[in-house]
Structure 1
Amino acid sequence: MRKIRYLFYVLIFILIYSFFIEPFSVKKTDLHIDVPNLDLKIKIVHITDLHMYKYIFFHEKILDKIKEEKPDIILYTGDSIIKNTDKNDLNKFFKKLSEIAPVYTVYGNWDYYNIELVNNVYNKNNIHVINDNTINVFFDNFSIKLIGLPIYKKISYVDTTESNYTIVLEHIPDTIFYNKEVFDQANLILAGHTHGGQVYIPFITKFFIKKYSFYLKGKINFKDNKIMYINRGLGAWFNIRFLAPPEILIITLN
């Protein structure tokens, strides 16, 4: 009887933690990359999967943590909304985000539920959409090529112009493997979508999620010093997370 009672207490604790504590925590992850011929330090923040309903203290917390880093640019890999997102609150978040540093983004699958709303907020706040497109960002004489992959299809045009460093933005991790030309020139690939499993139970979560993504979370090393990073994201379905806390990735190019 005592064991059943303890089990009940543990279950209650896990539920409270999963619904009311972990979803509102924010963990920073550092990724340091040595880049040949780079004479300065470039700091990049990567975030993804906002899934905002209403602007609350949690979003203020996210913005404060990003602001602390003083990034040169912010890269965002989509899924800003859910079905009932408050437009004014979404606008408030991206207005404050764009005041920290220039923001470059691609669309996530949820954004297509109301792409007009998403575009309206992005346009109003000078959020640079590079979905199915390429842009070069310069830091003195050092150029970073940003390639934005669309979901569910190959990129329309592959820009092979040389740059010092190439970062690919995609929402769904697997997309890069259907764009071999982009993969070949990429140095760093940033993705989201998986929420790190959201409820992460070792081995079990990975087994169930593998049909949606080859990789679940974190850093993956490929040959030729090519790196992919799958961010756990910020929002969550049904506002539940367990052993997969919201994440802000801090990338430092040295």
Structure 2
Amino acid sequence: MEDACNPFLPFLSERSYNRIYGRSSVMRKKLTIIGVLSALIIASYLIWLDASVWSLHRYHIQSHVVQSAQLPETFENVRIVFISDLHAYAKGYAGNLDKILRTVNRQAPDILIFGGDLVDEKASILTEDQINELSNFLKLIDAPLGKFAVLGLDDLPQADLVRQIYQLSDFELLENQVLDIYNTTGNPIRLAGLTPYLEGQTDLKFLGKDTGSFTLLISALPDIVSRLTEQDADLILSGSTHGGQVNLPWIGPMYKVGDMLHISGKFKIGDRTLIVSNGLATSEFDYRLFADPNLLSIRLIP
């Protein structure tokens, strides 16, 4: 036996071979399992870190071109920037106003639209410093053809305060209203703003029918598209969905508001175009996974 186990012998007995290399095989399996588990732990940690920290400030620009024969020639290459869902000062609020401001102004918007949920319904009443910070942020956005906004569901509990902030920021808040926007001379486009739609409580007659003009509708909730019949709305911009906020394979979005039929991106619905933003922040839980925050940059082509 000693001779068989002697490492200087050119050959090992079968029993010694199995004992030595059997142990080596078990060790390799253990190391493989440890390696796989370590990789899974590291990957899980990186995914958690991305979802809870990195992605919250990774503001993407989602660019679109909208072409319509109803657009006046004077609106060729006019750029609309749409932002929404800031949910300012909610618990766990992680908004980076300076970075958002730089990102928006780099797009050089002609028209700036805020699509609702400036504040969060669970946030405390804003302090004077917070009001000043928000109004200064919004005021520093440059848009020569105007800055406009609608209320979101989370704005409603503090609607008067939100109205005050928009007034301080040179925004025009549209509450079930339509106005004309001109670019120097020529024909205008119609801009309509809808207060969050409540079944049976919102009259959509203010939109009009077959006006012949290009109508841009701002609605915090994209659900409105299924309730439009003959109302005039060529382009609808919405937010509120947060892109699902956390999207899991085979499970889908973890954050849900409304019917969630149109979660994120551009949709063609009959003659209408709907574009839904992921928004800028989070609500209910402070994570984003496969649904980074974004803003919309839309170029108009007659």
Aligned to 2:293: 246
Choose which of 129, 146, 155 in structure 1 pairs with 2:203: 155
Are 1:59 and 2:97 counterparts? yes
The structural deviation recorded for 1:135 is: 1.0
Q: For residue 160 of structure 1, what is the amino acid of its counterpart? A: G
Q: Report the CA distance shift for 1:203/1:131 in structure 2 as closer, same or farther (over 3 A).
A: farther
Provide Cα deviations, 1:5-32, integer angstroms capped at 9, x if missing partner. Answer: 2221111111111111011011011111
Q: For residue 79 of structure 1, what is the amino acid of its counterpart? A: D
Choose which of 86, 94, 105 in structure 1 pairs with 2:149: 105
1:6-45 map, 5 Å: 6-36=39-69, 38-39=72-73, 40-45=76-81
Do 2:72 and 2:186's aligned partners in 1 also have CA atoms closer than 8 Å? Answer: no
SS in 2 for 1:135: strand
Aligned to 2:172: 128
Q: For residue 213 of structure 1, what is the amino acid of its counterpart? A: M
1:65-214 map, 5 Å: 65-82=103-120, 83-84=123-124, 85=126, 86-97=130-141, 99-101=142-144, 102-139=146-183, 140-151=185-196, 152=198, 153-155=201-203, 157-160=205-208, 162-182=211-231, 185-206=232-253, 209=256, 212-214=259-261
The structural deviation recorded for 1:69 is: 1.7
SS in 2 for 1:181: coil
The structural deviation recorded for 1:96 is: 1.5
Provide Cα deviations, 1:54-74, integer angstroms capped at 9, x if missing partner. Answer: 998822111112111211111
Q: For residue 234 of structure 1, what is the amino acid of its counterpart? A: L
The structural deviation recorded for 1:125 is: 1.7
Q: Report the CA distance shift for 1:106/1:163 in structure 2 as closer, same or farther (over 3 A).
A: farther
Choose which of 249, 265, 271 in structure 2 pairs with 1:218: 265
SS in 1 for 2:53: helix
Any unmatched runs of 5+ in structure 1? none
**TM-score normalised to structure 2 length:** 0.76
Between the aligned partners of 1:187 and 1:156, the Cα distance in structure 2 is 15
**TM-score normalised to structure 1 length:** 0.89
Between the aligned partners of 1:243 and 1:6, the Cα distance in structure 2 is 21
Between the aligned partners of 1:221 and 1:119, the Cα distance in structure 2 is 32
Decide which moves more: 199-208 or 210-219: 199-208
Aligned to 1:5: 38
Q: Report the CA distance shift for 1:212/1:223 in structure 2 as closer, same or farther (over 3 A).
A: closer
SS in 2 for 1:239: coil
Q: Give every structure 1 segment of 4 or more consecutive aligned residues whose post-TM-superposition deviation is greater than 3 Å.
A: 54-57, 206-212
Between the aligned partners of 2:288 and 2:51, the Cα distance in structure 1 is 5
Between the aligned partners of 1:217 and 1:57, the Cα distance in structure 2 is 20
Between the aligned partners of 2:156 and 2:204, the Cα distance in structure 1 is 19
The alignment's C-alpha RMSD in Å is 2.3
Decide which moves more: 51-60 or 3-12: 51-60
Q: Which has the larger radius of gyration?
A: 2
Between the aligned partners of 1:76 and 1:208, the Cα distance in structure 2 is 21
Between the aligned partners of 2:115 and 2:260, the Cα distance in structure 1 is 15
Any unmatched runs of 5+ in structure 2? 1-32
Between the aligned partners of 1:155 and 1:29, the Cα distance in structure 2 is 32
Provide Cα deviations, 1:183-236, integer angstroms capped at 9, x if missing partner. Answer: xx2111111110000112244224874864222111111223x21011000011
